[in-house]
Amino acid sequence: MTQTLTALLDKARHTSELTYEELLQLLSLPDEQIPELMAAADEVRQNTVGNQVHLRGIIEFSNYCRQHCCYCGLRADHSTASRYRLTPEQIIDTAAAAAKTGYRTLVLQSGEDPLIPAETIAELTREIKKLDVAVTLSCGERSYDVYRLWREAGADRYLIKQETADPALYKCIRPGHTLQERLQCQKWLKELGYQLGSGCMIGIPGQTVEILARDLQLMKEMNTDMSGMGPFIPHPQTPLKSGTTGSISMTLKMLAAARLYMPWLLLPATTALASLHPKGRELALRAGANVIMPNVTPEHVRSMYQIYPGKLNTRDSMTDYYNRIKDIVESEGRTLATDFGHSMHPAFQL
């Protein structure tokens, strides 16, 4: 028998040991009960990770990709996409400008670009670390040795989402790959001392609420430090073009349930949610989120990094954009963190 929502949320305020059935119950709530769930998640967020919001400046340095993910506009098969690759100088200049603006973490993200040598990314990491920032890399699946090279160069974190916890669905959306291979990468990264960013898309065709509950469980099992969970947005030049856009309600339920189930999480208000809803960031911040990842990619290439259509873009200068995000954070009664914003997972040690 399912307990009342009030009883379940009372339990969740005191313990994060929620069962699969309880997660399922939270994710199945009707829209009118979402505010109650968000309020509980917001309370747990306040009592565990506090009031601060961490900003990560993301530099999308190449949109070349050798992979064929069925959901993503950067897939190799999208032959008419305009491609770009920033030079190391452009990347370092952008990183320096972002650090000067106030960012304490920079994320270097790309497709799996076969023409950028691993050593170039190691060298970039070494240079960017000199700016006194934390560095997150997000460059897809690589070998243990490459991850080790980048870790030794000073990378602090790695973002590689599980995308979906269901092995059969995973195979469908990433042809030629298995969930097991993805989790192997995550295990290596943990072993090497990276802080691990995982996450999943919400509303990917074929997904069920049971799979989403399992997504949360898998992230906990993998000792995830950060979880990026945003709505799926169909891209017209991909095999999933006729899919339905992921729902904002389900995204908010996933964020809130994640906060209750993994109170330590670094939980971004994703750009995908902000692209779908004008108040997407504010809603996510009220549902347990404590991270925002503003795009600091140089403007002349920014619109080409089209993993999905309608991706939020801005013509603001880097400083104006930073200040605008700061205003959003403060208008929600929150403050910008000034530290690196490292993992708050109970097992994490610097």
Contacting residues toward ligand SF4, per CB under 6 A:
65, 67, 69, 72, 74-75, 111-112, 140, 307
From the list 49, 53, 111, 325, which residue makes contact with ligand SAH (rule: CB under 6 A)? 111
With binding defined as CB under 6 A, does residue 268 bind ligand SAH?
A: no
Total residues at the site for ligand SAH (CB under 6 A)?
18
With binding defined as CB under 6 A, does residue 232 bind ligand SAH?
A: yes
Answer with the entry of ligand SF4, ligand SAH, none that 203 interacts with (C-beta below 5 to 8 A by kind). Answer: none
Task: Of 97, 33, 23, give the one whose Cα is nearest residue 260.
Answer: 23
Q: How far is the CB of 83 from ligand SAH (least distance, A)?
A: 14
With binding defined as CB under 6 A, does residue 160 bind ligand SAH?
A: yes
With binding defined as CB under 6 A, does residue 23 bind ligand SAH?
A: no
With binding defined as CB under 6 A, does residue 165 bind ligand SAH?
A: no
Answer with the entry of ligand SF4, ligand SAH, none that 156 interacts with (C-beta below 5 to 8 A by kind). Answer: none
Answer with the entry of ligand SAH, ligand SF4, none that 106 interacts with (C-beta below 5 to 8 A by kind). Answer: none
Answer with the entry of ligand SAH, ligand SF4, none that 295 interacts with (C-beta below 5 to 8 A by kind). Answer: none
Q: How far is the CB of 139 from ligand SF4 (least distance, A)?
A: 9
Q: How far is the CB of 141 from ligand SAH (least distance, A)?
A: 8
With binding defined as CB under 6 A, does residue 235 bind ligand SAH?
A: yes
Crossing angle of helices 34-48/248-261, nearest 10°?
Answer: 40
What residues line the site for ligand SAH (CB under 6 A)? 71-72, 109, 111-112, 138, 140, 160-161, 163, 201, 230, 232-233, 235, 272, 307-308
